[in-house]
């Protein structure tokens, strides 16, 4: 567990606090970028040619930004990186924000169109023209296809929480490389503890509201099944070549500025109201306003969750 009291700026002046906070953000970003760069270098160690890379991790771990950095690294080497999101192979979903139905399954292998994915991967690796599906999270259905013609120089990155499932990895060629990313640290501040899965939940409640048109109440509705699937299917299968810890020490102080409003928005009478209020009371301990979202770099992994509308 990380005790954040040891790293926080001491209250001298408001200006001094903001300078210290900005320095903390810069240090965290620099260290995380170095971690990602070192992980990417390890992917290409050895003489064996890498054709397929998987990038997995539980929800809201930072896979999208890491995939972008991995893609840039491959492109600079003269190869052609092709990022493929396993989420695009989802089957149809349920009505968004309806908490009166059983929570839909987005995370287990049953949510994936395995039949289509099996044919897709085989044809892709055989060099045949394929059609990449596109899934709309807002409309909860497949919205179209994009034609893709493989090239011998392509390196394929399969990104998604399901990239560790045996049903998925069994479809991949021998010698593929695997990366697993997840925030690993629990934190304490002012005597109040937030577990690493709670920090991911705060990331998700903000991300889903901003990017997937999901109410905070609906994210609560999904979360029990999300955590159940992680414990049953993701973490038991996380044996990977490379691991990345995506926790940033400044994040509880920034995400709180978005999450508190959303936690308070869970309506009276909701089955999740008590849970939301309890989490709200603990997140309040991290509501330190000498941090600002404007301090977060444009290319930070944290932008996956808070967006860019503060700029």
**pLDDT tens-place string over residues 118-142:** 999 999 999 999 999 998 877 778 8
pLDDT in tens, 227-251: 999 999 999 998 899 999 999 999 9
C-alpha closest to that of 267 among 222, 215, 213, 201: 215
**Residue 242 domain-assigned (yes or no):** yes
In the chain, the number of structural domains is: 1
pLDDT in tens, 159-216: 999 999 999 999 999 889 999 999 999 999 989 999 999 999 999 999 999 998 999 9
| Angle between the N-to-C axes of helices 251-264 and 273-283, in degrees from 0 to 180, rounded to the nearest 10 | 150
**Residue 10 domain-assigned (yes or no):** yes
**Residue 56 domain-assigned (yes or no):** yes
**Residue 184 domain-assigned (yes or no):** yes
Residue 14: give the domain boundaries: 2-306
Dihedral sign (CA 28, 195, 286, 275): positive
Residue 100 DSSP symbol: T
C-alpha distances (whole Å) from 118 to each of 97, 130, 240, 297, 311 are: 31, 12, 22, 38, 42
Overall average pLDDT of the 71-99 stretch: 81
C-alpha closest to that of 67 among 80, 52, 87, 84: 84
**Residue 311 domain-assigned (yes or no):** no
**Residue 60 domain-assigned (yes or no):** yes
| Predicted TM-score (pTM) of this structure | 0.87
73 — pLDDT class (breaks 50, 70, 90)? confident
Instruction: State how beta strands 187-189 and 2-3 pair.
Output: parallel
Minimum mean pLDDT range among 15-19, 140-144, 279-283: 15-19
272 or 8, which is more confident?
Answer: 272
CATH of the domain at 295: 3.40.50.300
Provide the pLDDT for residue 12: 44
pLDDT in tens, 202-221: 999 999 999 989 999 999 99
**Residue 149 domain-assigned (yes or no):** yes
**Residue 153 domain-assigned (yes or no):** yes
């Amino acid at each position: 567990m990380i005790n954040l009291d040891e790293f926080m700026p001491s209250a001298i002046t408001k200006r001094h606090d903001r300078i210290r906070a900005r320095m903390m953000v810069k240090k965290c970003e620099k260290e995380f970028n170095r971690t990602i760069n070192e992980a990417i270098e390890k992917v290409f160690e050895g003489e064996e040619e890498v054709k397929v890379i998987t990038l997995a991790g539980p929800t809201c771990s930072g896979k999208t930004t890491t995939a972008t950095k991995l893609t840039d690294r491959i492109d600079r080497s003269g190869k052609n990186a092709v990022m493929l999101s396993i989420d695009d192979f989802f089957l149809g979903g349920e009505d968004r924000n309806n908490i009166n139905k059983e929570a839909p399954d987005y995370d287990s292998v049953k949510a994936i169109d395995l039949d289509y994915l099996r044919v897709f991967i085989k044809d892709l690796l055989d060099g045949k023209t394929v059609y990449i599906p596109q899934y709309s999270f807002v409309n909860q259905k497949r919205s179209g296809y994009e034609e893709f013609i493989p090239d011998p120089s392509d390196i394929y990155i399969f990104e998604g929480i399901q990239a560790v499932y045996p049903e998925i990895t069994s479809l991949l060629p021998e010698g593929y490389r695997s990366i697993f990313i997840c925030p690993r640290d629990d934190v304490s501040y002012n005597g109040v503890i937030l577990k690493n899965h709670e920090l991911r939940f705060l990331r998700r409640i903000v991300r889903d509201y901003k990017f997937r048109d999901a109410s905070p109440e609906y994210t609560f509705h999904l979360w029990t099944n999300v955590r159940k699937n992680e414990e049953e299917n993701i973490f038991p299968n996380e044996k990977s070549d490379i691991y990345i810890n995506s926790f940033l020490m400044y994040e509880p102080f920034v995400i709180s500025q978005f999450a508190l409003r959303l936690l308070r928005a869970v309506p009276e009478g909701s089955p999740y109201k008590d849970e939301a209020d309890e989490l709200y009371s603990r997140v309040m301990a991290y509501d330190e306003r000498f941090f600002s979202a404007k301090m977060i770099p444009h290319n930070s992994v944290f932008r996956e969750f808070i967006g860019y509308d503060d700029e």
